[in-house]
Amino acid sequence: MRNHRKNESVSWKNRRFLLALLAGLSTGGCATSPKPKPFAFSQSAPPSASANREVGPINARNPPSAQTPSAIRTVGYNEGLVMTAPQLGFVQDSEARASNDELSQLDISEEGMPSKITENDSAIEEVKPETTGLQTMNADSASGTQQPAQYFVSVALAGHPKIRAARQRVAAAANVAPQVSALPDPMFNNTFWPIQNQALQTAGGRVGHQFGLSQGVPWPEKLRTKADIANREVQMAQAEVDRIEREITEGVRLAYYEVWFATRAIAIVEETRELVDDLTQVAEARYKSGGSQQDVLRAQLETDRLDDQTVTLRKQKEQAQADLAALVQQPVALMPEATEELGLTNVPEQLDGLLALAEQCNPELRAIAWEIQRDRQKQKLACLQKYPDLQLGLNYAIISDDNNVISPVANGHDNISFTVGTTLPIWREKINAGIREAAHRTTSSTERLEAERDAIQGKLRRLMAQADALVQQQDIYKERIIPRTEDTLKLSIADYRGKRTDFFTLIETYRELLMFETQLARFEATLAGTVAQIERTVGCPTQ
């Protein structure tokens, strides 16, 4: 029984080695993919945030240092995580673990044969985003210094994984046209007769081998149409890149404005705390001169309310900072800060201009427009199926018995022949069904374009109405409500000192001032976010 188990173990190891060898042979030549060449995309739309951007392949980072003690290390701004090969997977039982240990010592070389790998080669190289000046942020500039919104937008656009993935899809789509526009692979065949007495016999002798080489030649317009379809899909993929960039830009700006609002609200609360301290001193002085102790307790309660409100605002700020840090791929330990002023100067006013600009810049509309052109090319390709495809061939037959020519008119030479064939597109119902299918898809894309245009126009109208209302409310609060509340508070303090009003009226006036100043900050942040949504809907800056 022990020998039987030993034989099974040896047999199992041999089978594992054979499986690894077969896997190496089957993947030979495909283990390492060539690095795609960089290329640029141009588009006919007006200049936008992503127009005429050169899209190139993602550069590979240097492998991690051998002295790194852990597979996941602390990374800087927009850096990826390093993962070593042994931590990519796991095995559940001891036998599978032993098999995994043996196979991990093998690597597939370029010739397809297994070879030993070194320890330094076991680390998997990282993927590094395209290098830009704004891509790397150090700890000082990220957490200690306030940065404008455009700075974080630039960082997010430089290295966000969704953008890099979309650009790789564009690069993949750009390699489709050379494939579909090329001729199909030629076919080579060899007909032979292994039994000489049963071989094909002619007057010139027996035929030992008959070789054939054929090449399919589609109707030329079909190949050009397929290339046009592939090129339209490249433009659709590029429009998807623009859409993702606008989406990320909007997300960064909205998160940034939430950080700004929380920071501004905390500052308002801190400024108000000084006023409450003054009111507390006034209440204490009045209490010492025979006033009510209830006023002192209410003033102290207001201080506690401000502390509670500060905790809530700090939590809100940290949540917004976490959202912003995730969008710009910033480590958790470094929290972005907003500037004191938003600097919002480009509030759009003309709706007609925005609608015209959206017709040219909106990536969703451009993508559907390219899709319509692609569907029209598909409809053309379906019509071209009525035309036949050619098949050209060359045959060569070896006459093996040229010394025993039977017929006086035969010479025993080898035979060379040419063949010309064609497809017969006789199944018209199938072809017509393909044409109708392509026509319906083109009509569907056209209707979707109209629906998307109407949706964008409706969204822009709503956003413009919201922006106009926010601007008017902001002016009312700045010019009338807050100045009058401040004057009312000053008079209430003077009346309270002169014992002409009670402390409750004073506290109500103070609370209104705090609420109005906080609401003004909310108006400013919401207005900036509305402008960001307008620019995302339009597809390019509205300046």
Cα separation of 535 and 129, whole Å? 26
- Best-predicted range by mean pLDDT (40-54, 336-350, 521-535): 521-535
Cα separation of 443 and 431, whole Å? 19
Is residue 519 within 8 Å of residue 477, measured between CB atoms? yes
Q: Which of 131-140, 212-221, 267-276 has the lowest mean pLDDT?
A: 131-140
Of residues 181 and 56, the one with the higher pLDDT is 181
Q: How confident is the model at residue 461, as a pLDDT? A: 93
Please compute the mean of the pLDDT values over residues 429-433 and round it to a whole number.
Answer: 94
Per-residue b/e over 292-306, b at no fewer than 16 CB within 10 Å? eeebbebbeebeeeb
Q: How confident is the model at residue 329, as a pLDDT? A: 84
Please compute the mean of the pLDDT values over residues 409-427 and round it to a whole number.
Answer: 85
Q: How confident is the model at residue 298, as a pLDDT? A: 82
Work out the pLDDT band at 69, boundaries 50, 70, 90.
very low
Work out the pLDDT band at 170, boundaries 50, 70, 90.
very high
Residue 49's contacts (CB-CB under 8 Å, 6 or more residues apart) are 157, 242, 245, 246, 249, 540, 541
Percent of all residues in the chain with a pLDDT value above 70, rounded to a whole number: 70
Per-residue b/e over 393-412, b at no fewer than 16 CB within 10 Å? bebebebbbeeebeeeeeeb
Q: Name the one residue in this structure whose structure tokens are 């940034």.
A: 256
| Structure tokens that stand for 77 in this block | 């701004």
Residue 114 sits at φ, ψ, to 5 deg, of -70, 145
Q: How confident is the model at residue 409, as a pLDDT? A: 66
Q: How confident is the model at residue 383, as a pLDDT? A: 95
pLDDT tens profile 462-503: 999 999 999 999 999 999 999 999 999 888 888 877 777 777
Percent of all residues in the chain with a pLDDT value above 90, rounded to a whole number: 42
pLDDT tens profile 207-265: 777 899 999 999 989 999 999 999 999 999 999 999 999 999 999 999 999 999 999 99
Q: Which of 8-17, 334-343, 520-529 has the lowest mean pLDDT?
A: 8-17
Count of helices and strands (H, E) across the chain: 13, 11
Is residue 514 within 8 Å of residue 272, measured between CB atoms? yes
Is residue 158 within 8 Å of residue 134, measured between CB atoms? yes
Q: How confident is the model at residue 142, as a pLDDT? A: 44
Indicate whether 542 pLDDT > 80: no
Query: What average pLDDT does the chain have?
Result: 75
Work out the pLDDT band at 282, boundaries 50, 70, 90.
confident
The radius of gyration of the chain's CA atoms, rounded to the nearest angstrom, is 38
Please compute the mean of the pLDDT values over residues 392-406 and round it to a whole number.
Answer: 76
Q: How confident is the model at residue 406, as a pLDDT? A: 63
Of residues 431 and 146, the one with the higher pLDDT is 431
Please compute the mean of the pLDDT values over residues 52-60 and round it to a whole number.
Answer: 37
Work out the pLDDT band at 424, boundaries 50, 70, 90.
very high
Q: How confident is the model at residue 120, as a pLDDT? A: 35
Q: How confident is the model at residue 131, as a pLDDT? A: 38
Cα separation of 47 and 14, whole Å? 63
Long-range CB contacts (within 8 A, 24+) of 400-404: 400/199, 400/205, 400/206, 400/207, 400/208, 401/204, 401/205, 401/206, 402/204, 402/205, 403/205, 404/205
Please compute the mean of the pLDDT values over residues 359-367 and round it to a whole number.
Answer: 92
Q: How confident is the model at residue 49, as a pLDDT? A: 38
Indicate whether 121 pLDDT > 90: no
Classify strands 106-108 and 114-116 as parallel, antiparallel or unpaired.
Answer: antiparallel
Indicate whether 434 pLDDT > 50: yes
Q: Which of 33-47, 420-434, 456-470, 472-486 has the lowest mean pLDDT?
A: 33-47
Work out the pLDDT band at 19, boundaries 50, 70, 90.
very low
pTM reported for the whole predicted model: 0.67
Of residues 131 and 424, the one with the higher pLDDT is 424
Please compute the mean of the pLDDT values over residues 446-450 and round it to a whole number.
Answer: 94
